Structure 1
């Protein structure tokens, strides 16, 4: 209970000290796998490579999605909560891909100038550093993040939106995905506009950056309904997975009492168990949370995400040794998925048993090699090196983490310390040299400005 209270204090501190426009990126292995699978064919239909397009989940209760340059689609948690099914989210993704293919970059220079630290969290992972009993480690984790521009962004023109809607329809058709979800979501937005009192021709609608939803529905209905995929059922597996991800997200971002009201104990479905597990855990009821996780694992013993949840609850309840079995199996079943492997590596370290350090190093090195945006993995790997007495590689891990979060004032001396202790010309020495050169260049540019 003390750890959970400390976690909530840290979250409050983060919210208070961060700028109003700072947002958190929610990283979760199951969610990212779902987004990749449900968007793959749509991305291909847009003549883009699924390997280069990322769907990123933002912790924000508003119903919104946007692109920010490159090939990244940002979706607010509020949109996932509001969606009735996965097909509606596919319609949103298709629309946003239209902005990418159309070269519409809504953030531009203001995005760069308004850059702010964005904390990278996995669901429940924000509490992981607490499992070792270190409040300082928890603070360090919550302050980690990447320098990314998430400030206010330029409004899209109505002409761009109309073009993007048409592109989204084309991409859905090319992927053989029904457009019922796209139309359904526009109808949801239309109801929201009615609640806001926005009407066609009103002053409010004139200044809106997007066309009124009613106009979009009228324009797109004929094309969507005439498409061969209109009456094609949405993929039932994708839809079932979406309900699970939606439930766990609600359990993580909502007040526990609200989650338990939406998913009462009388509901014995998998999504309900999922949502309640997170609600109980965040609310400080470890026994109830563990019972919900146990029910999930019993229903699907080989589901890696259920095993991951079971392990996380045990880890964050102060039982890292007990967490090793489910986390090891989850890591194996997902072929060392980086986020899951990072949690497993942390559990190995949290046991404080020296015999687990070698395995933790192997697991965490794989995690950082396969995920370039995982500062918590570098933090844990640095702890492994410190306990092994490898101060040079511990410094390199600190440099990697600081570089990732944009803290080049810390990255530079850490990388220099790593170079001093590593064999010259070795891969780790070369990587430290790269960080030194990049940090020096960026710091010089800042001085000039």
Structure 2
């Protein structure tokens, strides 16, 4: 795994083709999302500790809520946004879905639609049994159409409710709704380009963007925050994130078009550093990172970037002091701790193993959902001869990755080798029992 902007398999996501996508993990981006969302989360009367904002590697312009209080932003949406206020507008809307319990209430829309389909099937079966086969098939088609229409009506209503709730949260947080309107105009432009009819919403899950703009414009313009500019520091942070993301997801030639050499801004240096690094031009990538560090020598994310480039280029001895400086500047960032722990292990220097273990244990305490951190911690335990804890770390990793048999086996090995009743033993027992239940369910499902 890479960090920053690390790619992690997203098989655990519960939405559409997300199984084929990847989660992008980056310390700076995640801190930015947390700070950006907090005022709106509090306005929605949600707990900031319970809401997670996740960046998904997908070029389409999309955001969605799934798995409770998790908001997923596609990288394509961040790339399409012109300013931070547009991202805030989308985020407020998604928080409207969470606060409205729309994920939990999905059955309210799907339930009636399913009942209509089942009733139609029964009616069609009766018609076919009576010898009216064509009439029965027509009845079935009518029932499916009615079911779909009822379901789509329900989802459009949820979207409209989320729009109104998002507008309320923006107002309570003192944030302008201009970005929300501007983003809907972008979506409306896409509808025009795709020749989507603008006079019929019946077959759509979302209201037409023009309808949403009309419903929200007066609400936003009547709010005191309408003409309030966003803080310059916040816009600068968004520009950094967007530059970094551009360098990571775009082809290097395209990056150089968007951020030419004469552009000496922070986002440009970020973008070119990633582009050069991905193209294996190590010295050029390090030069871009050094240009950032001349602007802010103690910036942990600039230090992290240089350390990543050096580490992934095989210059481990140079990476370690740079990453140590990054951790010193941001002692609570688990992704940076993990990167330094990885570098210490990669050095093959036994004297560094204690430092690596301490760092990685701190990292997983702050972020238990990082499989790569668990992998590195397992490596350290294995190197130091602690086989039960190596098995426990492996069980944690495999559980996150959805490998139920592997998680169960390693958790049992850990449980058998750890002192009974200790916190690690209890955790191994929990993973083993949960994995056994999952394995039984999977086995029963296969037998059906």
Give the Cα separation in 1 of the matches to 2:281 and 2:274.
Answer: 10
* CA RMSD of superposed structures (Å): 2.2
**Cα contact 1:41–1:175 (8 A) shared by 2:** yes
**How many residue pairs align between the two structures?**
391
Q: CA deviation at 1:425?
A: 2.3
Q: Which residue of 2 aligns with 1:121?
A: none
Q: Does the residue aligned with 1:168 lie in a helix, a strand or coil? A: helix
* 1:98-137 pair list within 5 angstroms: 98-105=96-103
Q: Which residue of 2 aligns with 1:54?
A: 52
**Is 1:392 equivalent to 2:388 in the alignment?**
yes
Give the Cα separation in 2 of the matches to 1:430 and 1:175.
Answer: 42
Q: Which residue of 1 aligns with 2:41?
A: 43
Give the Cα separation in 2 of the matches to 1:191 and 1:212.
Answer: 11
Q: Does the residue aligned with 1:268 lie in a helix, a strand or coil? A: coil
* 1:220-299 pair list within 5 angstroms: 220-299=216-295
**Is 1:180 equivalent to 2:172 in the alignment?**
no
Give the Cα separation in 1 of the matches to 2:301 and 2:26.
Answer: 10
Q: CA deviation at 1:69?
A: 3.7
Q: Does the residue aligned with 2:236 lie in a helix, a strand or coil? A: helix
Q: Which residue of 1 aligns with 2:413?
A: 417
Q: CA deviation at 1:107?
A: 10
Greater Cα offset, 264-273 or 21-30: 21-30
* 1:14-413 pair list within 5 angstroms: 21-105=19-103, 157-201=155-199, 205-413=201-409
Give the Cα separation in 2 of the matches to 1:157 and 1:414.
Answer: 43
Higher relative contact order (CA 8 A, sep 6+): 1
Computing the radius of gyration from Cα coordinates, the structure with the larger value is 2
Q: CA deviation at 1:344?
A: 0.5
Give the Cα separation in 2 of the matches to 1:309 and 1:376.
Answer: 18
**Cα contact 1:69–1:107 (8 A) shared by 2:** no
User: CA separation of 1:154/1:353 partners in 2, compared to 1, >3 Å: closer, same or farther?
Assistant: farther
TM-score (norm 1): 0.83
Q: CA deviation at 1:446?
A: 1.9
User: CA separation of 1:431/1:283 partners in 2, compared to 1, >3 Å: closer, same or farther?
Assistant: same
User: CA separation of 1:64/1:106 partners in 2, compared to 1, >3 Å: closer, same or farther?
Assistant: farther
User: CA separation of 1:290/1:101 partners in 2, compared to 1, >3 Å: closer, same or farther?
Assistant: same
**Cα contact 1:256–1:283 (8 A) shared by 2:** yes
User: CA separation of 1:370/1:155 partners in 2, compared to 1, >3 Å: closer, same or farther?
Assistant: farther
Q: Does the residue aligned with 2:55 lie in a helix, a strand or coil? A: strand
Q: Which residue of 2 aligns with 1:136?
A: none
1:240-284, CA deviations, whole angstroms, 9 ceiling, x for partnerless residues? 000000110111111111111111111111100000001111111
Q: CA deviation at 1:21?
A: 4.9
Q: CA deviation at 1:85?
A: 0.6
Give the Cα separation in 1 of the matches to 2:331 and 2:276.
Answer: 29
